[in-house]
Amino acid sequence: MEEQVIVVGGGLAGSEAAYYLASRGIKTTLIEMKPKKFSPAHESEGFAELVCSNSLKSNDMYANACGLLKEEMRRLGSLVIEAADKTSVPAGAALAVDREQFSAYITEKLKSLPALTIENREAETIPDTEKGGGRYVIIATGPLTSEALSEDIQKKFGGGLHFFDASAPIVSAESIDLTKAFTGDRYGKGTGDYINCPLTKEEYYTFVDELLNAERAHLHEFEKGEIFEGCMPIEVMASRGRDTLRFGTLKPVGLSDENGVRPYAVLQLRKENGAGTCYNLVGFQTNLKFPEQKRVFSLIPALREAEFLRYGVMHRNTYIDSPNVLNRDFSVKNNKRLFFAGQITGVEGYVESAMSGLLAAIAIADELAGKQRRTFDNTTVCGALQTHISTPTKDFQPMNANFGILLPLPMRIRDKKERYKALAQRALQNIVKE
């Protein structure tokens, strides 16, 4: 019997979709071009490789919409969230993972499925949904879709949009000067997992001035464009005002040193792996040249002798004009057996990308079982993001999970914490597994 579903792309969305389908006995083929060909941002041969941060953001379902989205996905049978829970590293209220263990967990799960066939090759065109009397196809090739497939998508669905994604540097744990840092989580939440690197007023403004004067890496002509707010390079944020970072990435609010003193500004470092041998500079996505990253970021006292294990990079992300192309279930408007999933749809973030793959797979599995395709309403984060990618707008932009996109509560709750908790409780009541 020929496959019933073809999934193109073995990132978060593709892995999520392929697992959901094949684990239910639906004959599925997963096409992934690695290791025969790599995108500019990928290095590992495994599935679900994390190329930016190792954090999947907050895990608090009652205080953060991304935390709520994770819980919605847990209840829907998400492999990605299962893998994150199994390979997590301490990160306060956030769900961060050991990226190598995370990818290995998902890779092993996928390879163990009898109903899943894995083909390591580049898909240069969108597979035909009509072959074999009708099959389903999910395009989950991510923000760095290969040139050939990108051209085919553009030819069939119009011009693509694009934005930039920037990743933060990683430093060796043993090279951090802990005499010039203190541990602790903001507002005392969590288990004290972050290393906080304080700056005095003079140190802060010296850092900002050098950051603004630093040389940036060259962007090719085709990469020049609008930068998405959700992954703004730190040098771009700093250009908006000398105090911008002190009220954003370097904000000291909720943090005090061992003497109970709040610093003028603070850089937080988060564990990058389970062994705690390397740390990520939180919020320091950047497009500075590598020597400039070393020079400028080493102005932070705790990082004066820091060993940079990975420098930050910036790369182009591509997404389609989803409101004019997709239905709420991520299927194409003029071909309901063809789906898109992942950041290429205009959802932004690891968890959001995996969610789209999960929801596309759920819709297919439902239909193959003779049921109506499931979508979710705007009381849930899943449903609100489904609405976002399918609602016509003049200026379509990528969207993260946030409480602002949920349907408002029928009653007004002034206290933000209580309002978020009520929104979360309502959402979880409306996530129907089957």
pLDDT band, residue 393 (cuts 50/70/90) = confident
- At 276, the pLDDT band (50, 70, 90 cuts) reads confident
Tokens of 166: 């920037």
Confidence of residue 203 (pLDDT cuts 50, 70, 90): very high
More confident residue, 116 or 134: 116
Q: How far is CA 288 from CA 143, 284, 311, in A?
A: 21, 11, 9
Please give the share of the chain, as a percent, with pLDDT higher than 70.
91
pLDDT at 227: 58
**pLDDT above 90 as % of the chain:** 66
Q: Which stretches does DSSP call E strand in 244-362?
A: 265-271, 278-281, 308-310, 314-319, 331-332, 335-340
Sheet of strand 278-281: strand arrangement: 182-183, 195-199, 265-271, 278-281, 170-172, 308-310
The token pair that represents 20 in the structure block: 């959901």
Does residue 369 carry a pLDDT above 90?
yes
Q: How far, in Å, CA of 167 to CA of 285, rounded?
A: 4
DSSP letters spanning 103-121: HHHHHHHHHT-TTEEEEES
For residue 340, list its beta bridge partners: 139
Can you tell me the mean pLDDT for 166-175? 87
pLDDT given for residue 42 in this prediction: 61
Q: With contact defined as beta carbons under 8 Å apart, do 5 and 363 qualify?
A: no
Q: What is the pLDDT of residues 306-335, one digit of tens each?
A: 999 888 887 677 788 899 999 999 999 999
Distances (CA, A) of 219 to 93, 199, 314, 319, 399: 35, 31, 9, 19, 24
Within 10 angstroms of residue 182's Cβ, the number of other Cβ atoms is 20
Assigned token pair, 110? 């996928």
Return the pLDDT at 224: 54
Question: In whole angstroms, what is the distance from residue 24 CA to residue 114 CA?
Answer: 10
Domains of the chain as residue ranges with CATH: 5-165+317-429 (3.50.50.60), 168-312 (2.40.30.260)
Tell whether pTM > 0.75: yes
Mean pLDDT of 4-31: 97
Q: How far from 213 is each of 209, 220, 236, 264, CA to CA, in Å?
A: 6, 21, 12, 22
Arithmetic mean of pLDDT, 69-84: 98
Q: Which two tokens stand for residue 385?
A: 């993001």
